[in-house]
Structure 1
Amino acid sequence: MADTYDLVILGSGPGGYVAAIRASQLGLKVAIVERERLGGICLNWGCIPTKALLRTSEIYHYMQNAESYGLKADNIGFDLAKVVDRSRKVAGQLNAGVKGLMKKNKVTVVEGVGTVTAKGKLSVKQGDKTVELEAKTIIVATGARARDLPFAKADGKTIWTYRHAMVPTEMPTKLLVIGSGAIGVEFASFYNDMGADVTIVEMLPRILPVEDEEVSAFMDKALTKQGIKLLTGTGLEGLAPSGNGVTAKIKHKDGKVTEETFSHAIVAIGIVPNTENIGLEALGVETDRGHIKTDGYGRTNVDGIWAIGDVTGAPWLAHKASHEGIIAVEKIAGGSPHQMDKANIPGCTYSRPQVASVGMTEAKAKEAGYELKVGKFPFIGNGKAIALGEAEGFVKTVFDAKTGELLGAHMVGAEVTELIQGYVVARQLETTEAELMETVFAHPTLSEMMHESVLGAYGRSIHY
């Protein structure tokens, strides 16, 4: 006989487990089905362990530049196995934390491979055993996986996806990174700081193509200065194992095709939603290029089937998945949550320097027909940034000249992934330039640059 619940969630990533906790808080009887590890890709193989690696490379960079801070550090080196081990321990600690949260919130965890067999019914395969579940509502939160090159599947030896790049058994000497989105740039930054010779290939005209053009241009110069070779407007026509490495056929802007050998390659060209073989086709759940189509609350076209997170499409971000989970379960429980507003979802890249943004780029705002006021303030004008030895970067704000609405904010530099939340809150509260100008910012802080950028949009900057 099937176990019965108010809600069953398929997938325990940052969308699934957060939705489970909120549903339990709202009084629903909840089960969550997971085929691998609680916390999903983000916690175990994405957001968290990569930040642990990037923290290591950041410290290593500071050690190599200790003299600029009046310090001495001799015989600097690293143990790759210990670097990876620290990252895995961080992921393991948080995985254990999610297990504790499930127990605390009385969420039933069902381990195994889940399939939706009918509306309100799931089968979970646990080796030779099958467990049947029934629920009034099912949320699909199965996430996504790395996209392979059609002509060169990752082998884990010399051709890597992000999962392989997080647990290297050897340090690349000459690394090719294919794709310059957040994942590609983060790994390029990590391996470059750890001593690899890094090349990034990007088909589009600029790196970090979803960011503001000025941010992309700044990052191009910053990464090039660090020694990373950037090939934009460049395609990859072939990639194959060759000896102890890989040989890449690279088509340059001028149409010329060259061959170059690398010790390793990381494929970072996007993701594929995990929608296959989970029973959606038989139920008639509508998809778009594999992504489940939903409304602003997470409802699909099939009654009783909801979906959240990467499986529903861009932006493919953990915090977007979590918020979608909250909205969905509050709606399921009879509440009246606001629909998801993707324009208020911040994007962050944890490279060196960091990149963060929310809302429209200047170009997108112009395309939309807005008359703009744009402010920009450099890190070199900020006392805290100079004191930290992090004086490269800028903060940019884009306003509607007629209403004062904050249309977008774009940052590049030290700790901007923390600073961006100030602008996210401002947009959520529908703040105008007037409130931001009258806000008192602590001194000395990096956040003062946010204030100065706003003032600069209206010709009132004090320190620049």
Structure 2
Amino acid sequence: MKNNLTYDYIIIGSGAGLIVADAALEKGKRVAIIEQDRFGGTCLNYGCIPSKMLTYPADIIQQAKHARKIGVNFSRPSVDLHNIMGRIKELQSKSKIMAESYAKLPGCEVLIGQAKIIAANQVKVFAGDKERILHGHNIIIATGAKPNIPAFPGNELALHYRSFFEHLPNKPYPRLVILGAGTISCEFAHFFSTLNTKVTIVGRSGTILKSEDGDVQTAIIQCMRVAGVSFLLTHRFDKIEQSENEKVVHLTNTTSNESIKIPCDEVIISAGVKSTAPELLDPAVGVELDRNNYIVTDKNMATSIPGIYAIGDINGHHMFRHTANQEAKILVDYLFEQKQSIINYQAVPHAVFTTPQIAGVGQTEEQVKKSGIPYKRGMLHYRDVAYGWAMGYGDDDDGGFVKVLTDQNNRILGAHAIGYQAAALIQPFVYLMNTGDGSLTPLLSSQPIHPSINELAAWAAESLILIGGKN
């Protein structure tokens, strides 16, 4: 293999990094794209998109069950798991097509292998038993993060989100234990519980989705229990054993110190992610890392070493593809347009694709209370708007809610939703928090379509009540 080739931009990672690659190629720059795994990154192959190919069919089944309340009856829905998994495999097959299409672009070279940054302008690429050294004027790190696998005996017997999507099941698991209680855990639980799998979520914090607003946590736990999901939320993972016909998960209750065993057919570890920086960076290069080994960047996505930049999960700001995309756009503006763009990390939205759906932006009510400032709260349930009535929500089922939190001057501090299309309902608050002074005033003076689900957000904003201050 040829050494000592020089590129204008060496891009490590083919997820959000492709946004920078596209901009560089459009400017006629020489670009190398290095990917150690499937081209297209985590989102395409193991994350955002394939996981929604699981949760959306589950949503349809749940909607079919709810439809009885509004006078629509279906025969019992059946799931064609082969079809669902086939769609995911078809999606993943696009990875090779993408890699080939980029490799054909003028000025672009695609390398499949493990990258190691060995100097401020040098990257060593390991491909099988071969090595190659690339020289670049600029290095863009967009490698994402990797699954965090806690150290305990038998952890190799479990799947994690990447290995699950690498080895898709051909039939539902009768019994599934999920170690971890975050977003990925809840989405897996949503899908498999809909297939009548007996799902148990195990966590240590006493709740699930611990970064969510407390009212959201309470509501989703109740809904998931109705769907048949069990929770053990004050338990430590001790070990996993394999018997002849099943796996056995050993846990300890951290409150009572009681040991329990859970027999199951499969275990998925979903205990967050961790940085890939230690294996990517030679320490001698001197790129600054934070205490969790994520790369420290400035407002332009520049690292402590000139010419090296980091976007996406690897910089530890927020583990969302939309954040990585926005950081890539900021870097493109800086590198190619000499324009200073900004990202508001206090207004990064997120969603959990369960039924009901969850979404939020900004501070939770618990965080606002802890700050000690007077604040306003507005909260409205689906049953409180006309379209919610049409959907069948009422006294026996409120359908979820939208909550908005502001300071005394109506500047948005946070907004949270749980229910049908929560991710869409939260978006107006995201727009407002990223424009001007983040005031709620434009929403208060706007006209939501009647009757539509959009009235939830608007009327929640109109229902603000001052908490901890004087009206």
**TM-score normalised by the chain length of structure 2:** 0.89
Superposition map of 1:81-160 within 5 A? 81-93=82-94, 96=97, 100=101, 107-152=108-153, 154-155=155-156, 159-160=158-159
Superposition map of 1:219-298 within 5 A? 219-252=220-253, 253-288=255-290, 289-298=292-301
The answer to whether residue 415 in structure 2 is matched with residue 409 in structure 1 is yes
Paired residue total:
455
In structure 2, C-alpha distance between the alignment counterparts of 1:127 and 1:54, rounded to whole Å: 36
- Tell me the residue number matched to 1:427: 433
Decide whether aligned partners of structure 1 residues 238 and 110 sit closer, same or farther in structure 2, where only a CA change above 3 A counts: closer
Q: How far does residue 69 in structure 1 lie from its aligned partner after superposition?
A: 5.1
Asked if the contact 1:10/1:32 (under 8 Å) is kept, the reply is: yes
In structure 2, C-alpha distance between the alignment counterparts of 1:152 and 1:103, rounded to whole Å: 46
Q: How far does residue 224 in structure 1 lie from its aligned partner after superposition?
A: 1.3
- Tell me the residue number matched to 1:356: 359
Decide whether aligned partners of structure 1 residues 66 and 431 sit closer, same or farther in structure 2, where only a CA change above 3 A counts: closer
Superposition map of 1:26-41 within 5 A? 28-41=29-42
In structure 1, C-alpha distance between the alignment counterparts of 2:92 and 2:442, rounded to whole Å: 40
In structure 2, C-alpha distance between the alignment counterparts of 1:193 and 1:442, rounded to whole Å: 33
Q: How far does residue 70 in structure 1 lie from its aligned partner after superposition?
A: 4.1
Deviations along 1:399-435, one digit per CA (max 9) or x if unpaired, are: 001x221010001111111222211111001332322
Deviations along 1:273-308, one digit per CA (max 9) or x if unpaired, are: 212333332312222322112222222212222111
Asked if the contact 1:60/1:194 (under 8 Å) is kept, the reply is: no
SS at match of 2:429: helix
Asked if the contact 1:294/1:300 (under 8 Å) is kept, the reply is: yes
Asked if the contact 1:142/1:311 (under 8 Å) is kept, the reply is: yes
Deviations along 1:155-189, one digit per CA (max 9) or x if unpaired, are: 4xx62111243412332111111111111111011
Decide whether aligned partners of structure 1 residues 341 and 98 sit closer, same or farther in structure 2, where only a CA change above 3 A counts: farther
SS at match of 1:244: coil
Amino acid at match of 2:110: V
Decide whether aligned partners of structure 1 residues 440 and 291 sit closer, same or farther in structure 2, where only a CA change above 3 A counts: same
In structure 2, C-alpha distance between the alignment counterparts of 1:6 and 1:269, rounded to whole Å: 38
SS at match of 1:160: coil
In structure 1, C-alpha distance between the alignment counterparts of 2:69 and 2:104, rounded to whole Å: 49
- Tell me the residue number matched to 2:368: 365
The answer to whether residue 207 in structure 2 is matched with residue 201 in structure 1 is no
SS at match of 2:278: coil
SS at match of 1:276: helix
Amino acid at match of 1:5: Y
Decide whether aligned partners of structure 1 residues 99 and 451 sit closer, same or farther in structure 2, where only a CA change above 3 A counts: farther
Amino acid at match of 1:442: I
Amino acid at match of 2:281: G
Decide whether aligned partners of structure 1 residues 64 and 374 sit closer, same or farther in structure 2, where only a CA change above 3 A counts: closer
- Tell me the residue number matched to 1:215: 216
Structure 1 range deviating more: 98-107 or 268-277: 98-107
- Tell me the residue number matched to 1:162: 161
Q: How far does residue 340 in structure 1 lie from its aligned partner after superposition?
A: 3.2
Q: 2:464 aligns with which of 433, 457, 462?
A: 457
Decide whether aligned partners of structure 1 residues 329 and 412 sit closer, same or farther in structure 2, where only a CA change above 3 A counts: same
- Tell me the residue number matched to 2:453: 446
Asked if the contact 1:238/1:248 (under 8 Å) is kept, the reply is: yes
In structure 2, C-alpha distance between the alignment counterparts of 1:417 and 1:103, rounded to whole Å: 37
Amino acid at match of 1:359: G
- Tell me the residue number matched to 2:330: 327
SS at match of 2:277: coil
In structure 1, C-alpha distance between the alignment counterparts of 2:414 and 2:385, rounded to whole Å: 21
In structure 2, C-alpha distance between the alignment counterparts of 1:389 and 1:105, rounded to whole Å: 56
SS at match of 1:451: helix
SS at match of 2:8: strand
In structure 2, C-alpha distance between the alignment counterparts of 1:271 and 1:153, rounded to whole Å: 19
- Tell me the residue number matched to 1:437: 444
Deviations along 1:198-254, one digit per CA (max 9) or x if unpaired, are: 111121122110011111111111111222112223322232223322222222333
Asked if the contact 2:152/2:237 (under 8 Å) is kept, the reply is: no
In structure 1, C-alpha distance between the alignment counterparts of 2:444 and 2:26, rounded to whole Å: 39
Structure 1 range deviating more: 183-192 or 437-446: 437-446
In structure 1, C-alpha distance between the alignment counterparts of 2:270 and 2:108, rounded to whole Å: 35
Please list every run of 5 or more consecutive structure 2 residues that lacks an aligned counterpart in the other structure: 467-471
In structure 1, C-alpha distance between the alignment counterparts of 2:75 and 2:272, rounded to whole Å: 40
Amino acid at match of 1:392: G
Aligned-pair identity (%): 28
Amino acid at match of 2:164: A
- Tell me the residue number matched to 2:469: none
Q: How far does residue 359 in structure 1 lie from its aligned partner after superposition?
A: 0.6
SS at match of 1:287: coil
Asked if the contact 1:174/1:262 (under 8 Å) is kept, the reply is: yes
- Tell me the residue number matched to 2:319: 316
- Tell me the residue number matched to 1:462: none
